[in-house]
A and B are shown apart, each in its own frame.
Chain A
């Protein structure tokens, strides 16, 4: 397993992925930088308002879609150069290959989340909110957002291993993510829609965002996330284990 991780690391180390990690945190940072000032001139830095604002940009569409891009990327170099057949004729099990690919997708999502947090901290500190950082809220938001990406990463990895085209898996992702714009407002349906979970998970539970599905108990969300994750992951794994290369 460790050998596979080290091998995978080598492939990913020199690719464009590092640039992509910066996109969403960067844009969220711009919104945080200019957006928050409008709402609160002077006074202590409104951490949670900033978090909510940046989350609206980062987690509603970006994070779910980027998860798909990461999944497509860790499969791309295998599809492009005939890598699958070489990799799978080495002494490695398909299950391990699949798990390691998945770990890398989630690792990249984790890095994105950490960058998001770093940008937020940077903006907050620069604007004079250094003393009273609400650590538990911020870390909780970023961590829950990461967890909520588990099922999406599992589904996207499955379609990305199946199709060699980069755009096709992304199209699947978009088809499921676009409805977020409507679903997020619905208290009845949002809790059961996996693609909107990153948004629900990251949104702080106060400051005017306690409408729609944003006030749900985390247990419901957790079971939806974990349930869909298990289904998607097992489905993708079963397909990959049988796939002819």
Chain B
């Protein structure tokens, strides 16, 4: 058994002659909050359906908890909680009965129902028929259902769909606390980087069915290299002077920028400028947002 709690190997799905998912190697570690990112229609949901055995891969294999999904689907699914695309519910039943239909299949104690309802704060509305719920409440019921079996792995497909800002915040806090408090590993998909950025430890980015980036969130952040922008009274003259002193400065006729941003370098540049009587108006750090990187990596399509 290796370190991956979830691992796919060359996972592909053909639909109508088109590769919706193409040679995907997804790797999720124990305790990760894995952000599965991609624009709408990139193949996220199709991948997740395959991870749950709802759709069969055309090629490739899936291992969860070190077991082959094809061979040991039931024992795997017992420890996986999921919410796919939009929440599933039986409209004519109330929240408790909805959870009870699932509980009877998972064989967990009845007390879990009130626990998960408490977690998603639906206790108050638990006795109303679900068809009268708002979209956000249905979404929270979906998350409660996913949590019901005390899963080791939680697979959430766009879980904040339809939630208001307060609800999003709540779900985010909940998700962040899960690995810490219960040792749960989480795979969460989204088309919004901003949402994932605040909770994920690892990120996989998929577009047109292919994985184009998969690493820690820090590695993604490193791609967003900051630069220092300096505005001075006589920039061109300052640029020549700094180059002559062997300091790494760029001049593009409008802006003076420094690519390397160690404190020591910046300090030397500022000192040199002051010594030569340049007026220093501003020294600013400029960051490329993750959003920009995401757009760049995915080729500019999608993300809102």
Which A residues are within 8 Å of any B CB, using their own CB? 3-4, 6-8, 10-11, 14-15, 77, 80-93, 242, 244-245
**Contact among A3, A87, A89, A244 for B107, CB-based, below 8 A:** A3
**Contact among A84, A91, A242 for B77, CB-based, below 8 A:** A91
Whole-angstrom distance from the CB of A99 to the nearest CB of chain B? 14
Main secondary structure of the interface of A (DSSP, over half): helix
Give Cα A228–Cα B284 distance, bound, in whole angstroms: 80
B106 at the interface (CB under 8 A from A): yes
Tell whether A89 pairs with B91 under 8 Å between CB atoms, given A7-B101, A82-B86: no
**Contact among B82, B97, B100 for A89, CB-based, below 8 A:** B82
Tell whether A82 pairs with B74 under 8 Å between CB atoms, given A10-B101, A242-B56: no
Question: Does A90 lie within 8 Å of B77, measured CB to CB?
Answer: yes
A83-B89, A85-B52 known, 8 other contacts, Cβ within 8 Å: A4-B104, A7-B101, A15-B92, A85-B49, A87-B88, A88-B52, A242-B56, A244-B54
Question: Does B105 lie within 8 Å of A4, measured CB to CB?
Answer: yes
B84 at the interface (CB under 8 A from A): yes
Interface string of B74-94 (1 = CB under 8 A from A): 110110101011111111110
Whole-angstrom distance from the CB of B156 to the nearest CB of chain A? 12
Residues 116 to 153 of chain B near chain A (Cβ within 8 Å): 130, 145
Question: Does A91 lie within 8 Å of B106, measured CB to CB?
Answer: yes
**Contact among A7, A81, A89 for B84, CB-based, below 8 A:** A89
B55 at the interface (CB under 8 A from A): yes
5 pairs across A/B with beta carbons < 8 Å? A80-B91, A82-B88, A85-B54, A86-B88, A86-B145
B53 at the interface (CB under 8 A from A): yes
Tell whether A3 pairs with B87 under 8 Å between CB atoms, given A14-B92, A88-B53, A244-B56: no
Which B residues are within 8 Å of any A CB, using their own CB? 49, 52-56, 73-75, 77-78, 80, 82, 84-93, 97, 100-102, 104-107, 130, 145
Question: Does A89 lie within 8 Å of B80, measured CB to CB?
Answer: yes
Question: Does B101 lie within 8 Å of A11, measured CB to CB?
Answer: yes
Give Cα A45–Cα B95 distance, bound, in whole angstroms: 52
What residues of chain B lie closer than 8 Å to A90, measured between beta carbons?
A: 77, 102, 105-106
Give Cα A14–Cα B105 distance, bound, in whole angstroms: 19
What residues of chain B lie closer than 8 Å to A87, measured between beta carbons?
A: 88, 105
Question: Does A3 lie within 8 Å of B105, measured CB to CB?
Answer: yes
The chain A residue with its CB closest to the CB of B130 is: A81
Total A-B pairs in contact (CB under 8 Å)?
88
What residues of chain A lie closer than 8 Å to B105, measured between beta carbons?
A: 3-4, 7, 87, 90-92
Whole-angstrom distance from the CB of B38 to the nearest CB of chain A? 20
For A82, A92, A242, the residue with the greatest tally of chain B CB atoms inside 10 Å of its CB is A82
Question: Does B90 lie within 8 Å of A6, measured CB to CB?
Answer: no
Tell whether A245 pairs with B86 under 8 Å between CB atoms, given A7-B102, A91-B78: no
Give Cα A9–Cα B111 distance, bound, in whole angstroms: 20
Whole-angstrom distance from the CB of B131 to the nearest CB of chain A? 8
Whole-angstrom distance from the CB of A245 to the nearest CB of chain B? 4
Give Cα A87–Cα B107 distance, bound, in whole angstroms: 14
Tell whether A14 pairs with B86 under 8 Å between CB atoms, given A90-B102, A91-B105: no
Tell whether A77 pairs with B92 under 8 Å between CB atoms, given A85-B54, A89-B53: yes
Question: Does A82 lie within 8 Å of B87, measured CB to CB?
Answer: yes
What residues of chain A lie closer than 8 Å to B89, measured between beta carbons?
A: 81-83
Question: Does A7 lie within 8 Å of B75, measured CB to CB?
Answer: no
Closest 9 CB pairs of A and B: A86-B88, A82-B88, A89-B52, A244-B55, A91-B78, A7-B104, A245-B54, A91-B77, A81-B89
What residues of chain A lie closer than 8 Å to B78, measured between beta carbons?
A: 91
What residues of chain B lie closer than 8 Å to A4, measured between beta carbons?
A: 104-105
What residues of chain A lie closer than 8 Å to B91, measured between beta carbons?
A: 77, 80-81
For A11, A90, A242, the residue with the greatest tally of chain B CB atoms inside 10 Å of its CB is A90
Give Cα A82–Cα B145 distance, bound, in whole angstroms: 13
What residues of chain B lie closer than 8 Å to A14, measured between beta carbons?
A: 92-93, 97
Tell whether A91 pairs with B75 under 8 Å between CB atoms, given A15-B92, A82-B85, A245-B54: yes
Tell whether A89 pairs with B101 under 8 Å between CB atoms, given A11-B93, A82-B87: no
Give Cα A90–Cα B75 distance, bound, in whole angstroms: 10
